[in-house]
Homo-oligomer: A and B are copies of this chain.
């Protein structure tokens, strides 16, 4: 079958002809790919940034955001049938450790097991995963439309990345949902939540906040165009990040925001984001790249909480799929044939993609 594989770091991946995977293990599931998201992490993989931190044998088939239809299942898999439309969680988990049993999938005590980074991913016609990583979609769902919900390693595994100039479209939708979900109980009527960065992560975060809470949502971004879009996704206020954004948020909210979601996570946004909080508020660190540098004095006087976020759980992904299915969250994406992967990569490198690039096999 066709697959997009990295053969050498620093070179574009190739369209290979590789053997089809088989559901040989008891819990294996082979998925016929409907769409595979291309994300900035893929650029970093092919550029070799992960070579030391998360070593993988080359050639490596890329693709950690995968959706499609069940093609074959192992003998122990009883809850999935051939033909079911599905989306795949990025991490393969053991299912018996305590974190797995409690729904804390990203902390499986076996450690990360990430197709597309550590073994063959889904930029191919067929993709092998395991039963526990498969979320069923509604019967009539179109996998290609939701593939980008399953963003994987980005947030978690930019281990060599020293600085992230910006979080572009290729970012972690699932991560955005997860961060919002944590804050829901605190965001009652009359509260205010800020989304710093109204791009790939932010546009999902804003929609999740509107779908799940009665909080006012303030979008903060450097780009007027992004802010215009933020309004169309439901943001109640848009604030241009021009150096006065923290003051503007305090003007809009009185005492400051109850929650600030930093979908960027750079040195510049961290201090500003914390400065937007009301006393007792929470700063959700979602994007990353910079360093949190906060005097304990200010943290204690403001009684601030800083909550970092790592991708999300299987249940989070299932919930997010439900919101998408109900039309409460929609993704923006551009499609490319699988064979045109290098065109998509080129467009991503040069900032020519709006939303997410999705590769579609033949």
Chain A residues at the B interface, C-beta cutoff of 8 Å: 25-27, 75-76, 78-79, 94-98, 100-104, 106-107, 109, 131-132, 155-156, 158-159, 161, 181, 184-185, 188-190, 211-214, 255, 265, 270, 279-280, 285-297, 299-310, 314-315, 318-320, 322-323, 326, 328
Contact = CB atoms under 8 A, between A and B. Distances in A.
Contacts of A107: 279-280, 303
Given A76-B76, A322-B189, A296 B303 contact: no
A79 B96 contact: yes
A184 B181 contact: no
A102 to B, nearest CB: 4
Given A189-B319, A212-B189, A320-B189, A270 B296 contact: yes
Stoichiometry, as copies per complex, reads 4
Contacts of A290: 296
B106 A103 contact: no
Contacts of A155: 300
A212 to B, nearest CB: 5
B296 A308 contact: yes
Nearest to A267: B296
Given A75-B26, A214-B212, A314-B101, A291 B294 contact: yes
A104 B155 CA distance: 29
Most B Cβ at <10 Å: residue of A78, A158, A290, A300: A300
Nearest to A293: B293
B315 A102 contact: yes
Nearest to A279: B107
17 contacts: A26-B75, A76-B76, A95-B96, A101-B103, A102-B102, A102-B103, A107-B303, A159-B301, A181-B188, A184-B184, A184-B188, A189-B319, A189-B326, A190-B318, A292-B292, A296-B308, A300-B308
Contacts of A185: 184-185
